[in-house]
Amino acid sequence: MANLVWLQGATDNGCTISFLNTHEPDVAQLIRRLEVNIAFHPTIHPSSGQEAMRSLEPYAREERPLDLLVVEGAVQTGPQGTGEYCIVGERPFKDLVRELAQAAHYVVAIGTCAAFGGMAAAAPNPTDATGLQFYRDQRGGFLGAAYRSKAGLPVVNISGCPAHPDRLVQTVAALLLGKGGAIRLDEYQRPLDFYGYLTHDACPNNEYFEYKQAAEHFTEPGCLFESLGCKGPLTHSDCNRRLWNLHSSKTRAGSPCMGCTEPGFPDEYVPFFETLKNRMGIPRKLPLGTSRNTYLAMAASAKMACPDRLRVEKKKK
């Protein structure tokens, strides 16, 4: 049976809730089929207090094999490197992470906070929060750029706020079935199977985007990128391909993508519901891989070629 330890640091437990909502397999099926022993999880652990904390000791001392360490939430290293801003079981959370990461066969950072710092590391970052192996887009983080688990892999980052449960469950399955070496990671150590796409892919507003027909107000038809803050063309995720709860996504529900899977979230993606523009009225941040001149030329021709069925009539505010 494979032993899994799940730690929670600077987190709102959103990734835990997402994980508990996993479907096909659900959590119980995952445990049975993969023979997983969830040896420690603060939210669902059967014991509490010192009894729960003592259950970690055999894994930290390597008396029992720690097949998988999952870390949810950022590591708060302040004040002055003590880690006392985040205490778990009367110990700095950072000390638990370091001990168990050295013993773990694989390490997974679940959620953008654990991967890159996320909300916990938002400016001015008073608690000195960081991700496990990245601080925002800078390699290093808490464990350092050179860290490798006992299996020889870096931290596998499953980013998102929260992370989609499928991304975690399928990654855990691959690792525990001995397929860790087959997981292709991008430059931020995210599995390409989930982060090799843009949120923009399969968005129901794609036709509006192509013909530069922008919605100016929520609930109106049109693309949300040019005026209403959507970060879909800038964000790596499969949200519109995989969907949430087998049904929907932010853009399918009429809300803009907020860029929550990216290392710079949230600071680099605010405001969430407004697109910042330059003096020419062009979005300051353009779709990935697009130059400003190309965007200007494409936008002008696209608007001229727009079919009547997609044309969005401008309304006064």
Contacts of 255-259 with CB under 8 Å at 24 or more apart are 255/218, 255/224, 256/224, 256/225, 256/228, 256/229, 256/230, 256/231, 256/232, 257/199, 257/200, 257/230, 257/231, 257/232, 258/161, 258/229, 258/231, 259/231, 259/234, 259/235
Strand runs (DSSP E) across the chain, as ranges?
2-8, 36-40, 66-72, 75-76, 87-88, 91-92, 104-110, 129-130, 134-135, 138-139, 156-158
What SS3 class is residue 180? helix
86 belongs to an annotated ligand binding site: no
d(CA 246, CA 95): 38
306 belongs to an annotated ligand binding site: no
Helix spans in 35-164 (H): 49-54, 57-60, 93-103, 112-116
d(CA 154, CA 230): 31
d(CA 22, CA 4): 17
Asked whether the beta carbons of 39 and 5 are under 8 A apart, the reply is yes
217 belongs to an annotated ligand binding site: no
Residue type, position 6, single letter? W
Q: Which helix (H) or strand (E) holds 209?
A: helix 206-210
Angle at the Cα of 165 from the Cα atoms of 77 and 144, rounded to 5 degrees: 30
Task: Calculate the dihedral angle through the C-alpha atoms of 172, 165, 58, 181, rounding to the nearest 10 degrees.
Answer: 20
d(CA 305, CA 78): 56
Known binding residues are 15, 113, 161, 200, 203, 223, 230, 239, 257, 260
Annotation: binding site for [4Fe-4S] cluster: 15, 113, 161, 200, 203, 223, 230
Q: What residue numbers does the annotated binding site for [3Fe-4S] cluster cover?
A: 239, 257, 260
